[in-house]
């Protein structure tokens, strides 16, 4: 695999964003899902779109709290968000980034809270299901705000970098 400047700039932005998880922040106000969307949108190789963001989030999880119950559901959410990033890469605009950021938050909400409901905290009934998702609404708000903020910063920074350094622009295959 040939590593180029574009790869290192994308990776650097992801690592910088993930480092913000180590700073004090509101619950669920992190760059984790924004890096999954960003990486999948811009890495040339699809495998990197999964590996780099997931490894970065995993290392920060280990530093912050270690392994935790239900983390497989959260990571499955990041994989789904990478899938959204593959759709976003077709045309990156400010409105599409904002829309896909909101969809990313909804992925986290739907998938990870389904895992919470399957755990032992809520009864496995329709009422328990609804109670689980209602209880998670404040976390959804923070996650959505963080996806919009961090997504805006990541995509905006890369856009500015592409303007300043045209060698970062992906060349289309003819």
Q: Which residues span the domain enclosing 95?
A: 5-165
Q: How far apart are CA 24 and CA 97, in angstroms?
A: 26
C-alpha–C-alpha distance, residues 120 and 19, integer Å: 32
How distant, in Å, are the alpha carbons of 20, 57, 86, 103, 172 from that of 154? 12, 15, 16, 17, 22
Distances (CA, A) of 118 to 79, 93, 98: 20, 37, 30
pLDDT at 3: 60
Domain membership flag for residue 130: yes
Q: Looking at the domain assignment, is residue 172 inside a domain?
A: no
Identify whether 173 is part of a domain. no
Helix (H, G, I), strand (E, B) or coil at 100: helix
171 occurs within a structural domain: no
Question: What total number of domains does the chain contain?
Answer: 1
pLDDT value at residue 174: 37
Place of tokens 């109670």: 131
pLDDT for residue 67: 87
- In this prediction, residue 12 carries a pLDDT of 96
Position 170 scores a pLDDT of 80
The confidence score (pLDDT) of residue 89 equals 93
The reply to whether 11 falls in a domain is yes
Rounded to the nearest angstrom, the gap between the alpha carbon of residue 151 and the centroid of all alpha carbons in its chain is 8
How far apart are alpha carbons 101 and 151 in whole angstroms?
7
Residue 174 covered by a domain: no
Which parts of the chain have pLDDT scores under 70?
Answer: 1-3, 171-174
* 0.75 surpassed by pTM: yes
170 within a domain of the structure (yes/no): no
Q: Whose CA is closest to 41, among 95, 100, 1?
A: 100
Answer whether residue 34 is part of any domain: yes
Using N-to-C axis directions, what is the helix angle for 94-107 and 32-42, rounded to 10°?
Answer: 130
């Amino acid at each position: 695999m040939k590593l180029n400047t574009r790869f290192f700039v994308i990776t650097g932005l992801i690592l910088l964003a993930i480092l913000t998880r180590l700073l004090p922040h509101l619950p669920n106000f992190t760059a984790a899902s924004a890096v999954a969307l960003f990486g999948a949108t811009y890495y040339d190789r699809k495998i990197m779109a999964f590996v780099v963001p997931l490894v970065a989030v995993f290392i920060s999880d280990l530093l912050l709290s270690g392994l935790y119950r239900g983390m497989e559901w959260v990571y499955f959410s990041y994989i789904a968000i990478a899938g959204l990033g593959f759709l976003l890469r077709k045309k990156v605009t400010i409105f599409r980034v904002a829309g896909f950021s909101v969809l990313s938050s909804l992925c986290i909400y739907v998938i990870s809270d389904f895992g919470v409901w399957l755990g032992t905290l809520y009864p496995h009934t329709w009422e328990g299901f609804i109670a689980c998702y209602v209880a998670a609404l404040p976390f959804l708000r923070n996650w959505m705000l963080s996806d919009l903020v961090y997504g805006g910063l990541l995509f905006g920074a890369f856009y500015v970098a592409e303007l300043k350094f045209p060698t970062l622009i992906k060349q289309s295959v003819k």
